[in-house]
Amino acid sequence: MKTVSPTNKTVPQDALLLTVKQAAILLQIGKNRVYEMVETREMPSMRIGQKILIPRVALEQWVVERLALEIALAA
């Protein structure tokens, strides 16, 4: 299993669902910011019991949409 490893923190590349911590590592932002975006529904997420999980595919699509928005606003 391959992993993404910025600063020795690993995220399995084949994980369908990411924890808040894993999403923060991939996005290179703080966990608190991810929690804020989940709470305000700015970032796609789901709950299984008490655990907040972020579908990898939804996160990747969210990044693409954010980039498209940034490009449109800059034009």
Asked whether the beta carbons of 43 and 35 are under 8 A apart, the reply is: no
* Count of the separate structural domains present in the chain: 1
Q: Which residues contact 11 (CB under 8 A, 6 or more apart)?
A: 3, 4, 5, 18, 22, 25, 26
Overall average pLDDT of the 45-52 stretch? 96
- The yes-or-no verdict on residue 21 having pLDDT over 80 is yes
Name which of 3-7, 14-18, 40-44, 61-65 the model is least confident about: 3-7
Enclosing domain of residue 46: 3-74
Overall average pLDDT of the 7-21 stretch? 85
pTM of the entire structure? 0.81
Give the per-residue pLDDT at 48: 95
Tokens of 6: 């910025």
Say which CATH number the domain at 45 has: 1.10.10
